[in-house]
Amino acid sequence: MQRITQVIKVRPEKLAEYRELHRNVPRPVLDRLRRSNIANYSIHLLGDRLFSYFEYHGDDLPADLAAVAADEATQEWWKLTDPCQEPVEEAAPGEWWTGMQQLFLME
């Protein structure tokens, strides 16, 4: 199992909309994530930054993430959520959600 953490900014004027969208994530979007071996997915807010965490239980993360990105329901979902977000300053060119480095883990 891999623990994946990422960060992105939420546009302050879109925060209420972003919160509302996540009160009712479409079932097909959640089902696609599960079929892509993703579990325990959460998003947290601090100031204008969103932090995501999920556990990946598969063998080919790039392929499973590509399946998520190719999913029609997910693409429609992203049309709603993407305008609420913007990459952090630390993001590489073209990067949306930016990966974070784990420094500590207690199991």
* Cα–Cα distance measured from residue 50 to residue 5, given in angstroms and rounded to the nearest whole number: 10
Q: How large is the average pLDDT for residues 78-83? A: 97
**pTM strictly above 0.95:** no
* Cα–Cα distance measured from residue 87 to residue 36, given in angstroms and rounded to the nearest whole number: 24
Strands 2-10 and 98-99: antiparallel
Give the 3-state secondary structure of residue 55.
strand
Task: Write down all domains in the chain, each with its CATH number in brackets.
Answer: 2-99 (3.30.70.1090)
pLDDT confidence bin for 50, thresholds 50/70/90: very high
